[in-house]
Structure 1
């Protein structure tokens, strides 16, 4: 049994399969998820687990070379925008409809229980060397 890191076997296994250039969507409970990407649904109750908890857990295990969020986050969810700004100084912002379209090409979607709007980010995996 693992003693640290991500303990959810479905999520740990999905992370192990990611490669350079693959994308991972970390999303709130309301984000529409298209058919295609592998989905690990961590949502338990509204707000649990939070977007921040899941994002930070993933960032402990992933090499991320870029991140994209919806530009609507600026006004609709300033707390999530501030969080993403500290994690990704070069965060790319696109219209929400464009982010939803990009989700169709994601390799993995991790759904949180977050109940605040636009708490979504598409991570692009890098390499550790």
Structure 2
């Protein structure tokens, strides 16, 4: 049994399969999930687990070379905006509809229980060397 890091076996296994350039969508409970990507649904109750908790856990285990979020987050969700801008100094912002379209190419979708709007980010995996 793992003693640290991400303990959810489905998520841990999915992360181990990612490679350079793969997309990972971390999304709130309301984000429409397109057919195609593998989905690990962590949502338990509204707000549990939070977008911040899940993103922090993923960033501790992944190399990320880029991130894209919806520009609507800036007006609708100040706490998610702060988290995203702190975590990704070169955060790319696009329209929410464009983010939804881009998510169809993600390799993995991690759904959180987040119940505040626009708490979504598409991560692009990097390489550790």
Q: TM-score band (shorter)?
A: over 0.9
The whole-number CA distance in structure 2 between the counterparts of 1:9 and 1:74 is: 33
SS in 1 for 2:75: helix
**Which runs of no fewer than 5 residues in structure 1 stay unpaired?**
none
1:28 aligns with 28
Name the structure 2 match of 1:58: 58
Once residues 79 and 4 of structure 1 are traced to their aligned partners in structure 2, the CA distance between those partners, rounded to angstroms, is 27
CA drift of 1:13 comes to: 0.3
How far apart are residue 79 of structure 1 and its match?
1.0
Task: Return the TM-score normalized by structure 1.
Answer: 1.00
CA distance in 2, matches of 1:109, 1:94: 18
Instruction: Report the equivalent of 1:16.
Output: 16
TM-score with structure 2 setting the length: 1.00
What does the per-residue CA deviation read over 1:7-51, in whole Å, with 9 as the maximum and x for residues that have no partner? 000000000000000000000000000100000000000000000
Provide runs of 4+ in structure 1 moved above 4 Å: none
- 1:72 — aligned with what? 72
Q: How many residues were matched structurally?
A: 129
SS of equivalent residue, structure 1 residue 86: helix
Matched residue SS, 1:33: coil
RMSD: 0.3
Structure 1 segment 1-129 matched on structure 2, within 5 A: 1-129=1-129
